[in-house]
């Protein structure tokens, strides 16, 4: 998902008045924040990545890794960055710890803190990041759902269901749009089986093309599909 921030979302960073990026809830070790700093620094060298953690012990241990453009502080969804407005806030595997009743208020809080043109990414993945999903929000609300998988790490695309963000994970049931999407992906994946002789990448590309032909509002094209990624407009998956 760093690749997605640096790629299709990189323009936000390039044009930001204040290139402030937040890794919210970076965890026991600040690995994801350090990686984010390295990867997005290639897009814009003067970025300022701030890792924010609610757990003070995790902030203390991360301090040793501070450097120019990378710092750590204690806080939560209120984003304690002295009134600055971030252009990107990434919270991975954080909101899944909260209830379905709570996430909406946290979304609203973070959205209200974003810069113009800023985004909040609320995502989830498996332990080693091979099945991953995230919701992109802008200051007005949710924009899209992205699903990103490593080829070979799943049998059916719907295997990713257990890693959906909190807003959708309880909605993978008949009658809900995200369920219809995952079913459509599975069907298109199975129908694209002949492409498997050319590799799973070709099969995934064929699946995405079939979904687009069927009218699913895909927001990205083959350049992203070939990475094992697909992004669909939020309206197509929003909870009923
Ligand atoms: C499962 S870890 C995720 C770590 C990392 N983001 C990842 O995906 O590997 C969740 C982290 O979120 C932190 N956390 C939970 N609620 C938070 C909040 N409201 N503000 C900041 N951090 C929070 C927890 O302390 C924990 O370190």
pLDDT for position 109: 98
pLDDT given at position 67: 97
Nearest-CA residue for atom 14 of ligand 1 = 25
Beta carbon of 54 within 6 Å of any ligand 1 atom? yes
* Positions of the chain with pLDDT under 70: none
CB 147 within 8 A of CB 159: no
Contacts 24+ apart (CB under 8 A), 51-58: 51/22, 51/23, 51/26, 52/22, 52/23, 52/24, 52/25, 52/26, 52/76, 52/79, 52/80, 53/25, 53/26, 53/27, 54/25, 58/26, 58/27, 58/28, 58/30
Confirm or reject: Cβ of 24 under 6 Å from ligand 1: yes
CB of 26 closer than 6 angstroms to any ligand 1 atom: yes
| Ligand 1 atom with least separation from CA of 76 | 20
CATH level 2 (architecture), domain 2-170+217-236: 3-Layer(aba) Sandwich (3.40)
What is the three-class DSSP state of 121? strand
pLDDT value for 177: 98
The answer to pTM > 0.75 is yes
Q: Which residue, by CA, sits nearest to atom 6 of ligand 1?
A: 26
Sort strands 119-125 and 88-92 into parallel, antiparallel or unpaired.
parallel
pLDDT of 193 = 98
What spacing in Å lies between the alpha carbon of 26 and ligand 1's midpoint?
Answer: 5
Cα distances (angstroms) measured from residue 55 to each of 27, 62, 82, 175, 205? 9, 11, 19, 39, 41
**CA gap 229, 156 in Å, rounded:** 14
> Which of 27, 30, 109, 165 maximizes ligand 1 atoms within 8 Å of its Cβ, making it the mutation to test the pocket?
27
What pLDDT was estimated at residue 64?
97
- C-alpha of residue 240 to centroid of ligand 1, in Å: 28
Ligand 1: which atom is nearest the Cα of residue 91? 6
- Give tens-digit pLDDT for 59-76: 999 999 999 999 999 999
Mutate to test the pocket of ligand 1, among 23, 35, 52, 94 (most ligand atoms within 8 A of CB): 94
Q: Is the CB of 129 under 6 A from ligand 1?
A: no
């Amino acid at each position: 998902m760093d690749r997605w921030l640096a790629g299709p979302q990189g323009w936000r960073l390039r044009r930001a008045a204040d290139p402030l990026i937040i890794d919210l809830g970076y965890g026991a070790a600040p690995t994801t924040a350090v990686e984010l700093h390295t990867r997005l620094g290639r897009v814009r060298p003067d970025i300022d990545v701030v890792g924010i953690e609610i757990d003070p012990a995790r902030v203390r241990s991360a301090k040793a890794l501070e450097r120019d453009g990378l710092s750590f502080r204690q806080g939560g969804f209120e984003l304690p960055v002295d009134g600055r407005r971030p252009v990107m806030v990434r919270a991975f595997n954080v909101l899944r710890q909260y209830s379905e009743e709570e996430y909406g208020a946290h979304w609203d809080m973070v959205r209200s803190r974003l810069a113009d043109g800023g985004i909040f990414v609320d995502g989830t993945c498996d332990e080693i990041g091979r099945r991953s999903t995230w919701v992109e929000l802008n200051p007005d609300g949710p924009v899209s759902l992205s699903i990103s998988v490593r080829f070979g790490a799943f049998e059916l695309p719907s295997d990713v269901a257990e890693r959906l963000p909190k807003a959708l994970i309880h909605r993978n049931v008949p009658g809900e749009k995200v369920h219809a999407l995952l079913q459509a992906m599975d069907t298109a994946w199975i129908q694209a089986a002949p492409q498997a002789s050319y590799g799973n990448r070709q099969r995934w590309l064929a699946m995405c093309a079939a979904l687009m032909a069927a009218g699913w509002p895909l927001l990205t094209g083959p350049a992203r599909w070939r990475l094992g990624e697909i992004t669909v407009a939020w309206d197509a998956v929003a909870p009923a």
